[in-house]
Structure 1
Amino acid sequence: MAFWAGGVTPRVSLVSPAGLLLEIGGCLRLWGGLDRLVAAVAADLHAQGQATALAAAPTPQGALWLAQSGTGALATDLAAMRARLDALPLAAIDLPAAVRDKLERFGARTLADARRLPRDGLARRLAPHGVEAVLAIARAYGEAADPRPDFAFPEKFSQQIEMPAPVEAAAALLFVARRLTAALAGWLELRQGGVDGCVLELAHSAREATHLVLRFAEATRDSRRFERVLRERLERLALTAPVAALRLKAETVEALPGKNGALFGGGSLAATAMAALVERLRARLGEDSVYGLAPHADHRPECATRKVCTPRVLPAGRSGGTAAGVIAAPPRPFWLLERPEALAEVDGRPWRRGALRLLAGPERIESGWWQSGEAKGEGELFSDVRRDYFVALTADSRWAWIFRELRAPGGWYLHGWFA
């Protein structure tokens, strides 16, 4: 939970046995006020299945005691906090049992009653815990300093959750794994970073762990995207043995600063939606079934791109630029046919359901003689290309990219369509 809380505030402190202190005074404006922050925290904890009690106060000890009382108090100033604390029964706070018994024998039933007793004498009469009890009350009311050590977030993320009982269905693991993805998102938020991949280990009691690699189209720290990709993978996973524990690991972190909001709508929504689509397709179809294209320095259209196994989605408004060594060329069609389609020739003009009108060209491409006959994979061969390319308009007003073959026996061919 401390990892998850890193997404709320950078200052988190652990309290034994089961408390968590979040210093939120410096981030209230970011969240839009205390009520919105508390609502967001409560919703996140509910989604993780965590049973918690929340409270807010100007002092750490005051916030803890108000939370333990289950009142859900949100005190924003000392006066309001002290009034809330005064009404707390002694049984609702974590004072030692011996201290509570003695205070009740003195006639104290609430914190207000205990606070009215003489402080010096009370510390002696509550020995051996008197000094600590009196100091705790003073800290709760803001009358004594209460420094708390910050939780030290590790450099690498690796968190494990033991299953209460062995799980035999992969889909049932999502609820528990949600806590791990929420913790990863909080840890990344604190580090102002993102990951383009992480590994979920499914530990079995009688065999080696199953490793589930989660890939993302771009570096991200969005817990919803983590959960979405994880759900797709788990729903299609057939377990070979019951799962006893889950461990989520992320070692390589990329710098990912926060994004500025747009004045008129979200400028990056399109890129985010495309990244989510790529991640979903990859999770459903497999890592090798979804890939990107990168430019390659070759004049031949068939060889001008290469597959990229891990496609990255560029932010809206940015292009990939020109890769080093890539040859500048006139506009190319968005859709290149897998194999050129032979066209008829009528009265010396290319024909496809009507005569084609040549709009631009010729652009001569003559290359590849040094690789002619070499294998390039999947039974295909490199070829010596000698062609004149044209931009043409079809009878149904579509823009086509065609060429005239200069080698025997010649002829016209359709090679691609412009979007």
Structure 2
Amino acid sequence: MLWIALYFPALSLDWVERRFPEALIPAIGVTVRKGNQICIQQANKPAQARGVMEGQPLASALAVFPDLVIMEQDSHEEGKALQQAVYAALRFTPNIAIQNSGLIAEVSGSLKLFGGLKKLCQSLNRVVTAQGLQLSAGIAPTATGAWLLARSASSGTVINGKGEEFRILLDALPVGFLESAQPHLEVIRGIGCKTLADLQRLPRSGVARRFGQNLPAELDRAYGDAPDPQKWFEAPEDFQQKMKMMGLIENAGLLLVPAQRMVEQMCGWLALRHAAVSAFSFVLHHEYSLRQPHKFTSINIHLSEQSSDPAHLMLLLREHLERTKIVAPVCELELTADEIAAGADGNLELFPTMQSETTSLNRFIEKFSSRLGPEAITGLKVVSDHRPEYSQRLELSGRGALNRFSKRGRNSQIIPPESPRPAWLMEIPLELKVQRGRPVYESPLKLLAGPERIEAGWWNDDAIARDYFIAENDQGQLLWIYREHNPVEKDKGNKDGNWYLQGLFG
């Protein structure tokens, strides 16, 4: 087995900072109570630049910088931030366990799929860091070992304990990283044990008798000498995430970063269920006011084909956001997966198939529909009627229309004609001039194929009886022309009728 542990050293601060737009992050200090005194547990860089330090009494911090934004440590909000990080990481492995200030992921089954350990670790770190969390990572063949290495790494770095160096790296770690050693640190250090290697050299029975069974058990789990079972994260049946903003947002551009984080979380949840979303909604909740009747603005997005690609879903959401008018300041965001379906495996073939080409067309249509509005995109729908002027019609690219455009060739029950048909049909057939018995369109036409007789519409007042030909002029244009078939006129000896242009071939 192979484990990647992600440790969030500034979790108490990160969950606060990420709720501000990046350009508007103030000087923030997170406080914790120690006995009867309230102290600064963590301070961000703007606060540190003004003299606020970790461990500083709150009164001293406010004396140094009176405008410091004070937030009390909130374990519930930290737990929500951890859960959201797990959602994002589920795209890479379903086996994730939550720790106090981080998470542990078993990734041995994901290495081949994501291009090896290095690429997988980089992708995992990138996605979790994009959630607004600072992290350090550790890689090891045991879960506890990876967690200890991650805690010992500096922020933004990775310690790779895979292979023979694992025990060497573990031996050099300070005893203070062991949770079960926390109540006994002074005694352990007093007897000369500074590292895990020092603790390993002590008699096992004596360590257990003096410090309890948990300490040697934790050591055994870290080194792989004892089983280390983990409780995997269990995702809920439905996806609905909310994020409260620390400030009031009036610019849609400032919502893109938190929206991106929420979309990544939804895609991780979908990956865990081997599913894709076909409809989702993004709701902007507005600040309550008696003068403001708008409580929320809902952006509902329907896809022509289900997708779990965060880049594509975010592109659609961004286009909708840019066209959405912010009627009131936004104080909370909400993302919901409204309709999900079983996800289809990606196309891994060397050459593109019809499925991949259809998916590209659908995404192209969705992108422009989101940018210009659904009323700006139209498509042709085939109608079961032999009369050319009734055989197709334009439809708006609504939700149902998009599906019909993309699936017409695969699922349509309409039987195609044996003779070719032009895609460009005249709205009203154009009557052609005739020279020496030959129809003319920029030049006398040469008949290449035909006649093909179409008789239809006898059941209503719009019956037709025509003989169709494929013709070519001197410029090489191919045309679809016809003349009326009238048996009465033929009986009178009048075989020549008027010629009409019905359509042009590409």
TM over 0.5: yes
Pick which of 211-220 and 177-186 moved more. Answer: 211-220
C-alpha contact 1:14 1:21 (8 A) present in aligned 2: yes
SS of the residue corresponding to residue 148 of structure 1 reads coil
SS of the residue corresponding to residue 409 of structure 2 reads coil
Matched residue type, 2:373: G
Distance change >3 Å, CA 197–CA 403, structure 1 → 2: farther
Match of 2:235 among 153, 156, 168: 153
Instruction: For residues 348-378 of structure 1, give each alpha carbon's deviation from its aligned partner in whole angstroms, at most 9, with x where no partner exists.
Output: 3322211222222222333335454xxxxxx
Quote the residue 1:375 is aligned against: none
Q: Does residue 349 in structure 1 map to residue 438 in structure 2?
A: yes
C-alpha contact 1:194 1:256 (8 A) present in aligned 2: yes
SS of the residue corresponding to residue 109 of structure 1 reads coil
Matched residue type, 2:96: V
C-alpha contact 1:55 1:63 (8 A) present in aligned 2: yes
Match of 2:454 among 352, 365, 389: 365
What is the distance in 2 between the residues matched to 1:241 and 1:370?
A: 58
Instruction: For residues 25-63 of structure 1, give each alpha carbon's deviation from its aligned partner in whole angstroms, at most 9, with x where no partner exists.
Output: 122122232112112222333444432222211111111
- Unaligned 5+ segments in structure 2 are 1-84, 289-293, 490-496
Q: Does residue 414 in structure 1 map to residue 501 in structure 2?
A: yes
Q: Does residue 184 in structure 1 map to residue 266 in structure 2?
A: yes
SS of the residue corresponding to residue 120 of structure 1 reads helix
SS of the residue corresponding to residue 362 of structure 2 reads helix
Matched residue type, 1:355: P
Correspondence list, 1:116-195, <5 A? 116-126=201-211, 130-195=212-277
C-alpha contact 2:283 2:299 (8 A) present in aligned 1: yes
Instruction: For residues 106-135 of structure 1, give each alpha carbon's deviation from its aligned partner in whole angstroms, at most 9, with x where no partner exists.
Output: 332222223333333333433xxx433332
Match of 1:395 among 474, 479, 482: 474
C-alpha contact 1:89 1:110 (8 A) present in aligned 2: yes
Quote the residue 2:122 is aligned against: 39
Quote the residue 1:101 is aligned against: 186
C-alpha contact 2:281 2:338 (8 A) present in aligned 1: no
Correspondence list, 1:289-308, <5 A? 289-305=376-392, 307=395
What is the distance in 2 between the residues matched to 1:99 and 1:416?
A: 90
Matched residue type, 1:150: W
What is the distance in 2 between the residues matched to 1:314 and 1:189?
A: 28
Instruction: For residues 186-244 of structure 1, give each alpha carbon's deviation from its aligned partner in whole angstroms, at most 9, with x where no partner exists.
Output: 22223222223211122223243211122333222111101111121112221111222
Matched residue type, 2:161: A
What is the distance in 2 between the residues matched to 1:26 and 1:314?
A: 39
SS of the residue corresponding to residue 300 of structure 2 reads strand
SS of the residue corresponding to residue 29 of structure 1 reads coil
Distance change >3 Å, CA 278–CA 161, structure 1 → 2: same
Correspondence list, 1:233-252, <5 A? 233-252=320-339
C-alpha contact 1:12 1:20 (8 A) present in aligned 2: yes
What is the distance in 2 between the residues matched to 1:342 and 1:96?
A: 96
Quote the residue 2:21 is aligned against: none
Match of 1:85 among 151, 170, 185: 170
C-alpha contact 2:450 2:470 (8 A) present in aligned 1: yes
Quote the residue 1:277 is aligned against: 364
Pick which of 83-92 and 220-229 moved more. Answer: 83-92
Pick which of 139-148 and 96-105 moved more. Answer: 96-105
C-alpha contact 2:381 2:404 (8 A) present in aligned 1: no
Q: Does residue 21 in structure 1 map to residue 110 in structure 2?
A: no
Q: Offset of 1:267 from its aligned partner? A: 7.6
SS of the residue corresponding to residue 137 of structure 2 reads coil
SS of the residue corresponding to residue 247 of structure 2 reads strand
Q: Offset of 1:265 from its aligned partner? A: 6.9
Matched residue type, 1:398: Q
What is the distance in 1 between the residues matched to 2:97 and 2:441?
A: 73
Q: Offset of 1:138 from its aligned partner? A: 2.0
Q: Offset of 1:260 from its aligned partner? A: 4.7
Matched residue type, 1:44: V
Q: Does residue 75 in structure 1 map to residue 161 in structure 2?
A: yes
Distance change >3 Å, CA 328–CA 24, structure 1 → 2: same
Matched residue type, 1:61: T
Q: Offset of 1:92 from its aligned partner? A: 4.8
What is the distance in 1 between the residues matched to 2:112 and 2:430?
A: 61
Q: Does residue 404 in structure 1 map to residue 489 in structure 2?
A: no
Quote the residue 1:2 is aligned against: 86
- Unaligned 5+ segments in structure 1 are 373-382
Match of 1:115 among 192, 200, 223: 200
Quote the residue 2:70 is aligned against: none
Matched residue type, 1:125: R
What is the distance in 2 between the residues matched to 1:278 and 1:186?
A: 25
SS of the residue corresponding to residue 197 of structure 1 reads strand
C-alpha contact 1:4 1:185 (8 A) present in aligned 2: yes
Larger Rg: 2
Q: Percent identity over the alignment?
A: 36
Q: Offset of 1:247 from its aligned partner? A: 1.9
What is the distance in 2 between the residues matched to 1:40 and 1:337?
A: 54
Quote the residue 2:10 is aligned against: none
C-alpha contact 1:62 1:140 (8 A) present in aligned 2: yes
Quote the residue 1:332 is aligned against: 421
Distance change >3 Å, CA 90–CA 360, structure 1 → 2: same
Task: Give the CA RMSD over aligned residues.
Answer: 2.9
Pick which of 287-296 and 140-149 moved more. Answer: 287-296
Matched residue type, 1:286: G
What is the distance in 2 between the residues matched to 1:332 and 1:230?
A: 39
What is the distance in 1 between the residues matched to 2:232 and 2:247?
A: 33
SS of the residue corresponding to residue 32 of structure 1 reads coil
SS of the residue corresponding to residue 85 of structure 1 reads helix
Correspondence list, 1:256-271, <5 A? 256-263=343-350, 270-271=357-358
What is the distance in 2 between the residues matched to 1:42 and 1:362?
A: 68
SS of the residue corresponding to residue 299 of structure 1 reads coil
